Chain A
Amino acid sequence: MIRVDGVLVSRGEGGVYGERMLGDLRVWDPYRSKLAALYYLGKGIDLEPGMRVLYLGAAHGTTVSHVADYAEVVYAVEFAPRPVQDLLEVARRRSNVVPIMADAAQPEQYAPLLEPVDLIYQDVAQPDQAAIALRNCAFLRRGGTLVLMLKTRSVDVRREPVLVFSDAVSELGSAGLMVRDSTWLAPYHHDHAAIICAKERTTA
């Protein structure tokens, strides 16, 4: 990942959402983007130039645009029509963003479009986030990584975030994924946790 004096940046055409520029580098704000926060916490897995990324919950495409600056191709899945309008605009200017308007909870809707990916990044506001991630793991190549941004408040507002978190971790673990690392995103984002899993080379 590119850092300039400790500031996380990405190299690409600026002006996507009024982000600050350092020369021709786009500043990637950890308070706006959960993925950036993960890198500031020293936990994220590095995005490599050849990477194929499946991004679930692409929203307006701001974080997507940064991921696209690093990766080879980003399959950006988003369901709500208004964010997709913005996402299409981002995709128009970035040739390695593939905008997919579909429900991440129903991967059969977009399965015919995908190829095996190296990284699945999920940031969706749904109650069954771990289950959605597991359903999408069919697209993850063996040895690939899943980064799940768990919005504990979307799972259940009334439950303790810590309990929601441990449930999600055990759900992912018992489905055959290797939970490599996990962290809360404080102080950048509250009640959000990142869970980093690997799909093992040997398992189906």
Chain B
Amino acid sequence: MQSYWFGDMENGRCRPCSGNAADLADRLLSLHTSMDRFVPPDWTIARDCGFCRDRADYLAKLRDVCVVVAKRRIREKYRQKDTELLQMVRTLDELDTVINLLSGRVMEWYQIRQPSFSRKYRRTPARSLVRTIGQRSGGALGRVVGDVERLSETRTMLARDVSGRADAVMPNCSALIGGLVTARLLLHAGGLGPLARLPGSAIQVLGARTALFSHLRAGTPSPKHGIIFQHRRVHNAPRQVRGRVARVLAAQLAIAARVDFYRGAIAPEFIEQAQARIDAAGRVP
């Protein structure tokens, strides 16, 4: 028996389907077709067995079914827990870029208004400097400073949200390296599924693309770490063991990502073992 979207064919006889587009879509998703010697049916078969009136009717029904299926598949994809997290991390990174750009611009602008102003020998961090500039300036400059400050608040809130969401979506990875770094790993891998399928060696250099390709092409030294450098146990590690910490951490993350993807719950005994291994790697002999 060969099944098509409009019905089943058996020994030259055709049994048409009935029901609306949603019913046909349900049936379609349950079909299993083999491409081995598959012969696509002519549309006239559907007409002759009474499924549709004419060509226009055939195409209209087919389109309705396809639209229902596509909408369902899109909804399914977007329901996956990591989809929104990806957008949140991207927004967070872009907020950082915008805030830095605008802060720099504000200071350059202020220097024109206040020729005696200089950033040299100042202890004040850039953020409070910007705020001071805002208090002393009116007009558009003051308003821009206000916007930068509001963006900074949004950024702080969003960072908290990202971290919380990462804890919920990827509890094991977050337990090892924290929510923010986990979310960035997720972004570079392109999703939880792809991340869970990466080997530890790839996770180790995620985000070090330029260094990796110059290594592969020109034979420069290979990168020791990508995003995971942002985790304190990597960037605080003494130079001579930093590569080892990165490698062990990445290997444990590869396992953690798989637990996150396939089980979706925290595995305390695994976390305990993994933490011990990573800590051991950081000890200088």
Contacts and interface: CB of A to CB of B under 8 A. Distances in A.
* Chains A and B come from one and the same complex: yes
Interface of A: 73, 81, 84-85, 87-88, 91-92, 95-101, 107-108, 111-117, 135, 138-139, 158
Contacts of B5: 112-113
9 tightest A-B contacts by CB?
A101-B70, A81-B77, A111-B33, A81-B74, A108-B33, A112-B4, A101-B73, A112-B5, A114-B40
B28 A108 contact: no
B28 A112 contact: yes
Interface of B: 3-5, 28, 31-35, 38-43, 59-60, 62-63, 65-67, 69-71, 73-74, 77-78, 216-217
Contacts of A111: 33, 35, 38, 40
A144 B4 CA distance: 22
B77 A98 contact: no
Contacts of A91: 63, 66-67
Given A111-B40, A112-B4, A138-B38, A99 B66 contact: yes
Main secondary structure of the interface of B (DSSP, over half): helix
B70 A99 contact: yes
A112 B60 CA distance: 16
Given A101-B70, A108-B34, A115-B43, 7 more contacts: A73-B59, A81-B78, A84-B74, A95-B59, A113-B62, A114-B40, A135-B35
25 contacts: A73-B59, A81-B73, A81-B74, A84-B70, A84-B73, A84-B74, A85-B74, A87-B70, A88-B67, A91-B67, A95-B59, A99-B63, A100-B66, A100-B69, A101-B66, A101-B73, A108-B32, A108-B33, A108-B34, A111-B40, A112-B5, A112-B33, A113-B5, A115-B41, A138-B39
Contacts of B39: 138
A12 to B, nearest CB: 17
Nearest to B73: A101
Given A91-B67, A138-B35, A96 B40 contact: no
A158 B69 CA distance: 38
Contacts, number: 76
A115 B62 CA distance: 11
Contacts of A108: 32-35, 38
A98 B63 contact: yes
B43 A99 contact: no
A99 B63 CA distance: 7
A88 B4 contact: no
Nearest to B62: A98
Contacts of A97: 63
Nearest to A106: B35
B48 to A, nearest CB: 14
A100 B68 CA distance: 10
Contacts of A139: 40
Contacts of A73: 59
Nearest to A113: B5
Contacts of A84: 70, 73-74
